Structure 1
Amino acid sequence: MIGKTLVIVGALMAGAMLSGCSPIDTQTAMVETHLTPRDKAMLALAPPEEWSIPIVRNHVTDPTGEAAGTIVVDTSAHNLYFVLPGKQAIQYKVATGAEAYGWTGRATIGHMQEWPQWMPTASIMDRWPEFKVYIKHGPLAGAYDNPLGARAMYLYDGSRDTLYRIHGTNEPDEIGQAVSSGCIRMRDLDVIDLYSRVHIGTPVVVK
């Protein structure tokens, strides 16, 4: 566990050095992630390559013009911004929907879950019939290798679930690409950090 923690810290430091913006201090970033004992146990099981990709999380001047407390996803740049007071924002790198499956619009967070279960949607099962096994066996339990990762924030249009999520990932090498079925994927440490900053009703803009 100590070894894995040191690797996590190293990844954070590498991300800071590679970024051209103002990187969040490594120790601060580790505190901001609010890792629970379950988080630490789950993440310690993740394969080493999970931490070989630098985490780039930056404080930047807000480019969105949205109100503080808003999540804004720039799908073309694969960036997610959490808007802070004083025209500042935290910028995270994300994976977005593939061209045929992307979604844009305004929504709010209607539900939040730590280490969520994953049940493939009907459209996913149509595209990948092998996932129909979950109809019989039920959802995949929350774990480090679950496609939803460490956290999920469910996007709602009023009281209607849009079926789109902001969530973690078990494929961190795809961050920065347009590869998902429409959802917004984040590195697990980043999604834990964002999750700690938002609440039910947080506005979300995807453009």
Structure 2
Amino acid sequence: MQLKTIVLAVGLMATTALTGCSTIGFSYSTASYNSVVDAGYVIPAVPRSKIPPQYLRQQVNYDGSEAPGTIIVDTGAKYLYYVLGGGKAMRYGIGVGKQGFEWHGTARVAMKREWPTWTPPREMIQRQPKLAEFRDGMDPGITNPLGARALYLFNKGGDTGYRLHGTPEWWSIGKAMSSGCIRLMNQDIMDLYNRAEVGAKVIVR
């Protein structure tokens, strides 16, 4: 029994050492995805049990060099990180652009909007003519594609046309389904919205 105990202890020490070498460490998510009433809109609850646990909002270890307040979007892993500082980051599961609509680069949060109006780009209307009825904008609401919040991304050339925004389609998180924007569950974009400041640097990888 004593030998088994020693072997087990050595095994645990090795696991800890390997974990310490990782850039990102995992933590258990206690984030709430209950129904929320916000500005008169009722945001439905998200069924946590149907979301892969890695895509639930959670604080993780982070040893990157970016300054606190920076937003890092990892399109491959389908994660968005909000750098907290002190070796920590808040991580969110995201949905990303489908094939042919991906993008990478650096931008800044130029504007933040609660319950934004959605106006489909001309190119999107050409691909989906039925969206022409919203060429002047779709009113805010639960079915609006931008969800409860939106962060508008600009670079040196001006408006990139891309947004970090909410979505009622929680099942799309972890998948490549959008037209290039980065989508989060409504409860998550509300959390990010409260943390991120106008002017925040956004790095999309």
Asked if Structure 1 and Structure 2 have the same fold, meaning a TM-score greater than 0.5 normalized by the shorter chain, the answer is yes
Alignment of 1:117-128 (within 5 A): 117-128=117-128
The AA in structure 2 aligned to 1:103 is W
The AA in structure 2 aligned to 1:181 is S
TM-score (norm 2): 0.78
Residue 75 of structure 1 and its aligned partner are, at CA, apart by 0.2
Rounded to whole Å, the distance in 2 between the matches of 1:63 and 1:123 is 40
Rounded to whole Å, the distance in 2 between the matches of 1:159 and 1:198 is 22
% identical equivalent positions: 37
Contact 1:108-1:158 at 8 Å conserved across structures: no
Query: In 2 relative to 1, CA 159–197 (structure 1 residues): closer, same or farther, beyond 3 Å?
Result: farther
Among residues 13, 20, 23, which one is paired with 2:28 in the alignment?
A: 23
Structure 1 stretches (4+) deviating beyond 3 angstroms? 50-55
Rounded to whole Å, the distance in 2 between the matches of 1:181 and 1:85 is 32
Alignment of 1:69-80 (within 5 A): 69-80=69-80
Rounded to whole Å, the distance in 2 between the matches of 1:21 and 1:200 is 28
Aligned to 1:51: 47
2:191 aligned with 1:188? no
**Alignment partner of 1:23: what SS?**
coil
Aligned to 1:146: 144
**Alignment partner of 1:179: what SS?**
strand
* Number of residue equivalences: 175
Residue 158 of structure 1 and its aligned partner are, at CA, apart by 3.4
Aligned to 1:157: 155
User: Higher helix share goes to which structure?
Assistant: 1
Rounded to whole Å, the distance in 1 between the matches of 2:64 and 2:91 is 11
5+ unaligned residues in a row in structure 1: which ranges?
1-19
Rounded to whole Å, the distance in 1 between the matches of 2:78 and 2:29 is 19
Rounded to whole Å, the distance in 2 between the matches of 1:157 and 1:198 is 17
2:192 aligned with 1:206? no
Aligned to 2:85: 85
Aligned to 2:39: 38
Rounded to whole Å, the distance in 2 between the matches of 1:158 and 1:109 is 12
TM-score (norm 1): 0.77
Rounded to whole Å, the distance in 1 between the matches of 2:115 and 2:144 is 8
CA RMSD of aligned residues (A): 2.1
Rounded to whole Å, the distance in 1 between the matches of 2:131 and 2:150 is 20
**Alignment partner of 2:95: what SS?**
strand
2:119 aligned with 1:114? no
